Amino acid sequence: MKLSTGKLLLALAAVAMFSCCATIGPPQPPSLELPKPPTDLRASRKGDKVLLTWTIPTLTTDRQTVRSLGPTRICRGLEKVLTSCTAVGEAAPPQNMAEIRKSTGKKVSTSYADLLPGELGRDNPLGFVTYAVEVRNASGRSAGLSNQVHVPLVPTLPPPQDFNARVTGEGIVLTWTGYALSVADQQPAQYFYRAYRRQEGSQQEVLVGQLPLADDPHPSLVDQSFEWEKTYYYHATMLSVITRSGGPEIQVEGDDTPEVQVFAHDVFPPAVPSGLQAVFSGPGQEPFIDLIWAPASDVDLAGYNVYRHEEGMTPEKVNAELVKTPAYRDKNVVSGKEYFYSVSAVDVRGNESAQSEETSERAP
């Protein structure tokens, strides 16, 4: 029986189709489940503590989802580039790996605090130490080291002793006991005192100021940038600075003093007004006495009070409301009498200064 040309072509096409579908590619190797090494390792140093932070990997080197992780090795060395891991510690694996995998598009970070041995800085104050991390899987295998970061080894000093803060009319005065450098501290570095402030309910720290370390046994700083009637926390630290030839300046802070709490309650009056003068004017018009004085410079000044009395009498305030400018006209005068005047300054919280020196004028 002969097949027509059309049927023959259909039969050949069917054979080709089934042959194609039956083709099996080479077997794929099983995933080694090696987590991708982090590329965003960061380091910050405070005193002898180095805080390392990196993103927990969620993919393997073959772009599979990480199912579980083992401990992460913390690698540290004096070489500029680490070729292998000399472990100085381990960061425990995350306990919530399932939740981390679900946080698609969100990076989840972890951290480890390493304590630098003191001899590293003493032996090589201008040098650096290199860090990397090695993230391993549950079987203890890794795909290698993360990116590497360099941390300066410049020595730091202990925090200032006897740190204290007190509220005064000039501002919040910060005091401490001056630091005396020992022979061991005579490193190629400059040292500074630094003071910080944060407001109650906030973690944001504001640099109040810094002073170079000198022979002063009782150094101090005055903070005038705060707001009255608020609670603040102050602490101080020592700053080490090294200027390297041809390189950027290196700054490392030491450990902090305990925080000192201060409530900035304003019970301090403005400065006493000065330069008070009195001038009578009356011929041809209703008599009055004009008063003028030097304006007060207090930033929280609300106004002035004016006091008057006659010889042997007690001064009494003559203004019903605060006088806003350093001048006042007293129209309640009687011819033939001598009047004695003084003025005081009042701030926005009602604190009133002492009365100024008196001046007098006679109404003819």
Cβ–Cβ under 8 Å, residues 228 and 151: no
Predicted pLDDT at 130: 98
Tens digits of residue pLDDT in 288-308:
999 999 999 988 899 999 999
Q: Which H or E element spans position 7?
A: helix 5-21
pLDDT tens for each residue of the chain, 364 residues long: 454 555 544 554 444 444 444 445 555 555 678 999 999 999 999 999 999 999 999 889 998 888 889 999 999 999 999 999 999 999 999 887 767 766 666 788 899 999 999 888 888 888 999 999 999 999 999 999 999 999 999 989 999 999 999 999 889 999 999 988 765 566 678 999 999 999 999 999 999 999 999 888 999 999 999 999 999 999 999 999 988 777 788 999 999 999 999 999 999 999 999 999 999 987 767 899 999 999 999 888 999 999 999 999 999 999 999 999 999 999 999 988 999 999 999 999 999 999 999 999 999 8
The dotted CATH code for 277-362 is: 2.60.40.10
User: Do the domains at 42-152 and 277-362 have one common CATH topology?
Assistant: yes
- The alpha carbon of residue 90 and the mean position of all alpha carbons in its chain are separated, in whole angstroms, by 30
- The alpha carbon of residue 106 and the mean position of all alpha carbons in its chain are separated, in whole angstroms, by 26
**How far apart, in whole angstroms, are the C-alpha atoms of residue 288 and residue 334?**
9
- Find the largest Cα–Cα distance for the chain: 153
Q: What's the predicted TM-score (pTM) here? A: 0.76
pLDDT, averaged across the chain:
89
Termini Cα distance of the chain: 152
DSSP string covering 35-97: BPPPS--EEEEETTEEEEEEEPP-BBTTSPBP--EEEEEEEEESSSS-SS--EEEEEPPPTTH
Predicted pLDDT at 20: 47
Predicted pLDDT at 83: 95
The second-level CATH assignment, the architecture, of 42-152 is Sandwich (2.60)
**How far apart, in whole angstroms, are the C-alpha atoms of residue 121 and residue 27?**
55
Which two three-digit tokens encode residue 80? Answer: 């500029």
**How far apart, in whole angstroms, are the C-alpha atoms of residue 260 and residue 177?**
15
Q: Are strands 171-177 and 220-223 parallel, antiparallel or unpaired?
A: antiparallel
The dotted CATH code for 161-263 is: 2.60.40.10
**Residue ranges of the domains in the chain?**
42-152, 161-263, 277-362
